[in-house]
Chains A and B, each alone.
Chain A
Amino acid sequence: MIDTILSLVPVYGGYIVALATFLSCLALPIPSSLIMLTAGAFVASGDLGAVSTAGLAFAGAVAGDHVGYAIGRRGAGLLHRLGPKPRAMIGKARGLLDRHGGAAVFLSRWLFSPLGPYVNLVTGAAPMPWLRFALWDALGEGVWVALYLGLGYAFGSQIEAVAELAANFSGILAAGAVALGLGLWLRALLRADHRKRGRRRI
């Protein structure tokens, strides 16, 4: 399976990379990180052009992100049909996005990349101002392209090793971020329970 993917990159070049990054930003299960690492390796081996590959990868990723954002924007209308409690949650999420949205978009492009597609939908639904989204998205994807092509370039002779390690590391970071977020939320809920119980005793 991996071999098939690895052989697609030198055969179809930058265009398959662009397609892969585009589809993966829409939450489709495409191993875009592996493809990017492979592309980096083939840039190092002289089979792919650095600028064209980076440009195509970047264009594909940004395009995919904007489609995700647009879908989130469209779906936002559905949010109004929800009851008061979910709407209160959404209000809180909007508050969070206002304060930390840029960071969320930026970091979910490259550090917590498995979360990226979902951040696209949520920021579209909130909605985060398009220009703000576009700016942080471009910066984040720039880091992602440079990071993965760079890693592929540097470790071009051990692509399978780097790909496996990078995928696992990415999973660690994303799961860690989610666990941390949920843990903090749980702690806040338990504290609120404790306070309520305290008041009742009085």
Chain B
Amino acid sequence: MRQLKSAWRRHPVVLTAFLLACAVFVFFAVRMTFAALYWADPARQNQTLEGWMTPGYVARSWDVPRETVLTWLGDAAPTGGRKTLAQIAQDTGVPLAQIIDQLHDALSAQKPPE
């Protein structure tokens, strides 16, 4: 304790910086623990479809062949280059929610939840 008081008197800046760094360390450690617990839940593992995903990403996420996902998209399937689901929605005029539901139904039928 005496050392701490002496340190505070003689080197306040270094001590404060040190304590701050320790606090930041603890902050990230706690945050990481919460994140790990949150994501460990297997229910979260099968990602819900989002607009930023591409058909290829969806395929890998749900472990189905890419061609299958493209088939499910039907007319909306992108012809060339990579497109996100949001872009596909924009290009075809089909609402994103509809595309997502369509894909989700097809995926769930293929892989029933355990």
Contacts and interface: CB of A to CB of B under 8 A. Distances in A.
Nearest to B17: A182
Contacts of A172: 25, 28-29, 32
B60 A165 contact: no
A176 B25 CA distance: 6
Interface residues of A, number: 35
A172 B56 CA distance: 33
Q: Is chain B's binding surface mostly helix, strand, loop or mixed?
A: helix
A42 B57 CA distance: 7
Given A171-B28, A172-B32, A157 B3 contact: no
A183 interface: yes
A182 B14 contact: yes
B35 A157 contact: no
Interface in A152-202: 156-158, 160-161, 164-165, 168-169, 171-172, 175-176, 178-179, 182-183, 185-186, 189-190, 193
Interface of B: 3, 6-7, 10-11, 14-15, 17-18, 21-22, 24-25, 27-29, 31-32, 35-36, 39, 44-45, 47, 50-52, 54, 56-57, 59-63, 66, 82-84, 86-87
Interface of A: 3, 6-7, 10-11, 13, 41-42, 44-48, 156-158, 160-161, 164-165, 168-169, 171-172, 175-176, 178-179, 182-183, 185-186, 189-190, 193
Can you list the 7 inter-chain pairs with the closest CB atoms, starting with the nearest?
A: A7-B52, A45-B56, A171-B28, A168-B32, A179-B21, A161-B39, A175-B25
